[in-house]
Structure 1
Amino acid sequence: MSNHNTPAAEPAIEPTAADAAAAAAAATATAAAKPAAPAPDAVETDDAIPAPRATDMPDTATADQDVATWITKEAGNRRIPYDRARLERAIDRVHAEFPQLDIADYKRSVFGFVERKDAVNADDLVDHLIREAEARVDVAAPEWEIFAARLYLHRLYKRASRNRFYDTEQKYGSYVGLQESLADRNVYSNDILRAYSKEELVEAGKMIDPGRDKLFAYNGLYLLATRYLATDTSRAVYELPQERWLTIALYLMQDEKPRERRMQLVGEAYWALSNLYMTVATPTLQNAGKIGGQLSSCFIDTVDDSLQGIYDSNTDIARVSKGGGGVGAYLGYVRSSGSAIRGVPNSSGGVVPWIKQLNNTAVSVDQLGQRKGAVAVYLDVWHRDIEAFLDLRLNNGDQRLRAHDVFTSVCIPDLFMEAVERRGDWYLFDPHEVKRIKGWYLQDFFDEKRGEGTFRKKYEEVVADERIARKTVKAIDIFKRIMVSQLETGNPFMFYRDEVNRKNPNKHAGMVYSSNLCTEILQNMSPTRMMQEIISGNQIVTTRQAGDFVVCNLSSVNLGRAVLPQEDQGDLITDVLERLIPIQVRMLDNVIDLNDLPVPQATITNRKYRAIGLGTFGWHHLLAQKGIHWNTPEAEDFSDELYERINFLTVQASMELAKEKGTYSAFLGSDWHNGEYFRARDYNSSKWLELSAQVAVNGVRNGWLLAVAPNMSTAQIAGSTASIDPIYSAFYYEEKKDYRRPVAAPGLSLETWPYYEKGAYKVDQFASVRQNARRQRHVDQSISFNFYVPSTIRASTLLELHMTAWREGLKTTYYVRSNDIDIAECEWCSS
């Protein structure tokens, strides 16, 4: 999915000389004053180059025959003569930062674009300047991407200064004034103004460092500006990038005590965000400090096997989608097709009709028209509807049985994978019938060890019970259907339920039945059930027993920046992880208390477990900078070492936070409490043993800590590679509606090219699995892990890839992304 659209031109107007002088005088007289609103008919200038000073303003009444080209503004109602020298000076000022770039051809193209026309709109000129810079990005000159960012940045500065009436050369205006102005316009909430004094906000405004805007590449800056910066209803620019980071920091730290330390924590959060050492989840990035919207990305619901439960879940999922959250829905309790309803056999339509309802909800309840809702549905591989479920997204067959807008995921026990290995039989059951006859559900059990445990005993007990109807299939045939669907649609995702529950640090308090939309969240789940519904006067009072409705609060370390030597107060340090992770954990923990969630049982679960998902992105970027090839044992060893360190620092940070604020309510009896969490991961070094002892005494603040999400958008904003994925290609061209733009890997140079040369479809997927298995040991939840395969891959190779993932202890796998590359180019899958 592309986010690299060319900036849309906007109408423009430029203040008169008198207006400019008056605004400048007012800004000088009171720097912290609230910005005045522009006149109702005024919108911003789109000129990326400095306007002529009022005293030097050309006479716009000059006769047309004396001017070859006009620069038009204000929808063509105002114009100034084109001045080549002035345009050249503006280009030269940007070029001064990048003297290595050959600017001559760029200038010729820009001058030609202007001078062959009678009139050029100012917005179109800026668009052309940016596009021409982007078009020159290549392996030898990737700096053109930053050149384009500088042009776009100046445009943002100029628009914001015009709308807020301060001098563009200041770059940033009054932060207090911005808060007051956007609160008046119902863009910002009043939370920050209520929580902080004016003096504190003035102090916060002094933290802003405009120089950190230079960390952005163009496509990341453009995505941030067009999707996440606060604007008014006319989309006019007010908030600038550093103000978004500062607003997030202030919002997340508003309830910190004592107040004397609060501004220090705001400064730490701003430092982490503005240096692009980390990013917050997109809902937090979008909504923090603004009116409306919640801060969390991921939710998981457990659908009860009742008409009321099914429709209540549909409503809850709609409310989450409306607020911008992605949802995973577990349907393993819902009775299968042909099951009895109220004792009448062959009455149930099974899970497919209910999934189609969820499909309609995902399409109908969008996020303010920006994108449709996103729902992943999970089903156990022993459920009698599994075959129809695996066909849900196929393009052939009966379309009445298809649901193309949901994402399918299969919950798989070890026993099934063993049956696939030996090409054995597999049995499908109706969960309702199992419950009626046996008194329990199969999904409520798991194997405590590889090759032995409670689940397989219960499964064999059901198989042996002749009262229970079953369908007998070959396990390999089910797996073939899984792979056919994956190559056609990318789904189903895989959820290895036994490994998930074995490594669940809160198994004392529940079960994990499925994951979320992106397969990285693994937390205890249970359905919400209606207890009673009574009439009280003119009111209907409904009582529901809240289940565990999973919420996860995400943010990610930018490995491409945070795990490299850094200048810190004049000293060179190895990296910033020791300083970064404690503030990141605190920010995530504060999201829990500040969140305004759309579903009440989600709020209850969120506060019960206080789960967070600290993740990472920029893995391939980091490997390239470290000079480590993807397909090597060195990459596997580095993955193991780095994620163990991240895990240690995260557990330590949550423990320190627990000492300050208390543990999550379900801590006692957890694997954190009894030390099993550390033993299960073979953490036997002295530092881990010491931390384990400290955790047993002090607790941890958060029931789950780590989860690696796809985070493609935020990685793009931060100028790095997504998640733990390999890049698509070191260098390629992205097709737009009316032009092609080159896309280069982050930090691409002749030195890093060899480490990027093999893109996602050419790196060894078995090496990726091994690398991810080493990482997974240190992640208490899971990792959004994709397979990249040619569409012509042999079934035996794809099967072995899945078997390897299971054997290596991966908890989940995400998309199988296929590409029509020549099989001969695929070294790892052709041998």
Structure 2
Amino acid sequence: AAMFSFYDDYYKGENKDKLEISKSERLKYIKRTYDMLSKHEVTFATPRIANSMTIKAQLASCILNTPDDDTWSLNQTDGNMALYSKFSGGIAYDASYIRASGSTIQTNRGRSDGPIPFIKRVEQTISSFNQGGVRKGACVITFPWWHLDVLDLIMLKDAGGTEDTRARKLVYSIRISNIFRERVNKDEYITLFDPKETPLLNEEYGEKFNVAYMYYESKSSIRKKKIKAKDLLFQILKVRQETGNLYLTFVDNINEQNMVNRFVGASNLCQEIVIPSYPSKLIKEKYIINEEGEYEIIQRKKSGEIGICNLVSVNLMAWINFTPEKKKSFCYTLLRGCDNIIDTQFYPVKEGEIANKKNRPIGIGVINYANLLASNKLKYTDKDALEFTNKVFDDLYYHIYEASNILAKERGAYKTFNESKWKEGLTPFHISLLNNEKNILNVSTYKEKWDKLAEKIKINGVRFSFHGAIAPTATSGKSISATESIEPVVDLFFVEEGIQTLPSLVPNIKKNRDYYQRCWTIPAKTIIELAAVRQRYIDQSQSLNLYYVKPDSAKELWNDIQYAMDLGLKTLYYMKTPKSNFELEEVCESCT
């Protein structure tokens, strides 16, 4: 209804003669979308399904917030998150700008307590503004490895400590740079800083970050602390192993493979979204007395951006059987619907509306990957699984970017297209680190096809700044009896406990029993390699879990993390270990 209202308003006046044609055309695409859903060819993320028929239809899945280091911005961001949590968004909060504990506060000559009190306030906000009572609010906090309070920040979810020093209801991600990796491997010291005194560290990446970092190390007038790089790494790995949490955000990989040429320092709640987020700045606030004699407060602010993304997942078991013509029409219909939603959905906060309508990011991922491999008589560990994955994801994302190019011809490119790598004649395929590392996985390259598409995009643009992101699909996958996202199966039969307790049986078990591999039997390096092949074509990231029965050592975990960095992965999600020996035992099929 909201969609029709928007376009009916648009077609008033000089465009009135187009109204009936437009309604007819829209109904055609509405029916196509219904068919795609009813045939389980695609699934929409939970907020889009749950909120579509509400009065204020907030349909975005992922909300990325970055507060500045001042009282107004911190309070403003807290309020923004409350609104989005109320309307079912998964929240991300980048704490990288918040000054360290002990830092001076000029306005009252006091001392800051650092980011932890503000993070604890976020915890209370998210708990208070749950998602309409349907499910609990959730939030990830991101912070950089060089923050002066990093040793306290990585312990926020730890079981020990006092309530004042923990915020266990949240999840956490640490931003990792290549220079940290280098110093670990050389067994050198690193220097921790107060973000208030080192602003360039939140604006640069790669070699420019290294130069800024070493400049601040040499500067005697600022507060800093030296520790062994390995000591920090050990604490990171310890927390990651004990809690499963403490996600990893590879900031250099994100920005070196970033299509929009704007710094991205954090990811979202599930670590698949990597889009810009910037704080607003207060310019002036004053009060006036209106004509009725009432007092009004007028506030002027320079708008920042709240990163917003709508998620969709393509059922690979359906995609693999589409004809070339169906693939084109399918992607066009899917992206057309995503485009309309950006214009018609409800925005609780203006910074979110501004960013979403200006940049138009979406996140198209996949579902049923484990089923697809098994149905093609492939195991995760089979050598041929790499090449098979390469061909499927090459094909899928080529059609997605092609459809975006067609929409750009019809409706115009997104507003900041000319500032992007798209405008330079590049695609995610062209800037993939996997390609730059001389294709070390030795999978096929269809460069000519991508070069031709890049030229078309250079001329006519793309409709969206970002297109691809592989989300977890824990709920939507079960709704169509599909395997979750890109995940291997935990078991052939299992009971999932959440809002509802659901027994699940892997699809096509009779036919594919011999080809399903349980997650505990697949080496982390195999999962990383398959992810790297997919990342070659994705302009955002993937919710990627790594599984370990019992890691041999911290060195094993660190080697896997470095391998992920080498192959161009942008983020790592949970590290999972079995809760008990029972999880390692395969369920008897006779008993299921």
- Please say whether Structure 1 and Structure 2 have the same fold, judged by a TM-score greater than 0.5: yes
Correspondence for 1:442: 201
* Cα distance change, pair 257–648 in 1 and its aligned pair in 2 (3 A): farther
1:365 matches 2:129: yes
Correspondence for 1:532: 284
Correspondence for 1:374: 138
1:431-830 alignment, distance < 5 Å:
431-434=195-198, 440-447=199-206, 453-507=207-261, 510-537=262-289, 538-563=295-320, 565=321, 573=323, 576-677=326-427, 679-681=430-432, 685-732=447-494, 743-749=504-510, 751-756=511-516, 758-790=517-549, 793-820=552-579
> Residue 27 of structure 2: which of 263, 273, 281 is its match?
263
Task: Write out per-residue CA displacement over residues 311-363 of structure 1, whole angstroms, 9 at most, x where no aligned residue.
Answer: 11110000000000011111111100011110777701000010000011111
Whether the 8 Å CA contact 2:523–2:547 is kept in 1: the answer is no
- Cα distance in 2 for partners of 1:482, 1:257 equals 59
- Cα distance in 2 for partners of 1:381, 1:444 equals 15
* Cα distance change, pair 676–741 in 1 and its aligned pair in 2 (3 A): closer
Whether the 8 Å CA contact 2:2–2:344 is kept in 1: the answer is no
- Cα distance in 1 for partners of 2:53, 2:165 equals 44
Correspondence for 1:348: 112
Whether the 8 Å CA contact 1:793–1:823 is kept in 2: the answer is no
Task: Write out per-residue CA displacement over residues 217-264 of structure 1, whole angstroms, 9 at most, x where no aligned residue.
Answer: xxxxxxxxxxxxxxxxxxxxxxxxxxxxxxxxxxxxx99973332222
User: 1:530 is aligned with what amino acid?
Assistant: L
1:287-366 alignment, distance < 5 Å:
287-342=51-106, 347-366=111-130
Deviation at 1:790, TM superposition (A): 2.5
Between the two structures, name the one with larger relative contact order (CA 8 Å, sep ≥ 6): 2
Unaligned runs of 5+ in 2: 9-17, 290-294, 436-444, 586-592
Task: Write out per-residue CA displacement over residues 566-602 of structure 1, whole angstroms, 9 at most, x where no aligned residue.
Answer: 6xxxxxx489533322211111111100111111100
User: 1:420 is aligned with what amino acid?
Assistant: V
Deviation at 1:791, TM superposition (A): 5.2
- Cα distance in 2 for partners of 1:289, 1:733 equals 30
- Cα distance in 1 for partners of 2:506, 2:537 equals 28
Deviation at 1:528, TM superposition (A): 1.1
1:174-323 alignment, distance < 5 Å:
258-323=22-87
Correspondence for 1:389: 153
Number of residue pairs matched by the alignment: 559
Could you tell me the TM-score, scaled by structure 1's length? 0.64
Correspondence for 2:588: none
Larger radius of gyration: 1
- Identical-pair percentage: 30
Deviation at 1:291, TM superposition (A): 2.3
- Cα distance in 1 for partners of 2:193, 2:107 equals 17
Deviation at 1:806, TM superposition (A): 1.5
Whether the 8 Å CA contact 1:585–1:614 is kept in 2: the answer is no
Task: Write out per-residue CA displacement over residues 191-218 of structure 1, whole angstroms, 9 at most, x where no aligned residue.
Answer: 669989xxxxxxxxxxxxxxxxxxxxxx
- Cα distance in 2 for partners of 1:696, 1:341 equals 48
- Cα distance in 1 for partners of 2:43, 2:487 equals 17
Correspondence for 1:224: none
1:347 match: secondary structure: strand
- Cα distance in 1 for partners of 2:161, 2:497 equals 33
* Cα distance change, pair 822–645 in 1 and its aligned pair in 2 (3 A): same
Correspondence for 1:213: none
Deviation at 1:715, TM superposition (A): 1.1
Correspondence for 2:187: 423
- Cα distance in 1 for partners of 2:512, 2:195 equals 54
Deviation at 1:285, TM superposition (A): 1.0
Whether the 8 Å CA contact 2:65–2:91 is kept in 1: the answer is yes
* Cα distance change, pair 545–734 in 1 and its aligned pair in 2 (3 A): closer
1:356 match: secondary structure: helix
- Cα distance in 2 for partners of 1:642, 1:261 equals 31
1:48-197 alignment, distance < 5 Å:
none
Whether the 8 Å CA contact 2:6–2:344 is kept in 1: the answer is no
Whether the 8 Å CA contact 2:119–2:167 is kept in 1: the answer is yes
- Cα distance in 1 for partners of 2:208, 2:91 equals 29
Could you tell me the TM-score, scaled by structure 2's length? 0.89
- Cα distance in 1 for partners of 2:145, 2:47 equals 33
- Cα distance in 2 for partners of 1:737, 1:261 equals 39
User: 2:241 is aligned with what amino acid?
Assistant: L
- Cα distance in 1 for partners of 2:65, 2:211 equals 27
- Cα distance in 1 for partners of 2:90, 2:20 equals 29
Q: Which runs of 4+ in 1 moved over 6 A?
A: 193-196, 254-257, 343-346, 734-738, 823-826
- Cα distance in 2 for partners of 1:256, 1:401 equals 62
1:790 match: secondary structure: coil
2:422 match: secondary structure: helix
User: 1:556 is aligned with what amino acid?
Assistant: S
* Cα distance change, pair 603–824 in 1 and its aligned pair in 2 (3 A): closer
User: 1:754 is aligned with what amino acid?
Assistant: D
The RMSD of aligned alpha carbons is: 2.6
Task: Write out per-residue CA displacement over residues 49-68 of structure 1, whole angstroms, 9 at most, x where no aligned residue.
Answer: xxxxxxxxxxxxxxxxxxxx
Deviation at 1:720, TM superposition (A): 0.5
2:577 match: secondary structure: strand
Whether the 8 Å CA contact 2:578–2:584 is kept in 1: the answer is no
- Cα distance in 2 for partners of 1:307, 1:583 equals 45
Whether the 8 Å CA contact 2:73–2:281 is kept in 1: the answer is yes
* Higher deviation after alignment, 342-351 or 406-415: 342-351
User: 1:752 is aligned with what amino acid?
Assistant: N
- Cα distance in 2 for partners of 1:257, 1:655 equals 23
* Higher deviation after alignment, 345-354 or 611-620: 345-354
Whether the 8 Å CA contact 1:785–1:812 is kept in 2: the answer is yes
Task: Write out per-residue CA displacement over residues 82-124 of structure 1, whole angstroms, 9 at most, x where no aligned residue.
Answer: xxxxxxxxxxxxxxxxxxxxxxxxxxxxxxxxxxxxxxxxxxx
* Cα distance change, pair 817–346 in 1 and its aligned pair in 2 (3 A): farther
- Cα distance in 1 for partners of 2:208, 2:124 equals 38
- Cα distance in 1 for partners of 2:60, 2:497 equals 33
Correspondence for 1:240: none
Unaligned runs of 5+ in 1: 1-188, 197-253, 435-439, 448-452, 567-572, 827-831
- Cα distance in 1 for partners of 2:404, 2:3 equals 26
Deviation at 1:733, TM superposition (A): 5.5
User: 2:537 is aligned with what amino acid?
Assistant: H
2:402 match: secondary structure: helix
Whether the 8 Å CA contact 2:135–2:499 is kept in 1: the answer is no
User: 2:570 is aligned with what amino acid?
Assistant: K
- Cα distance in 2 for partners of 1:736, 1:604 equals 34
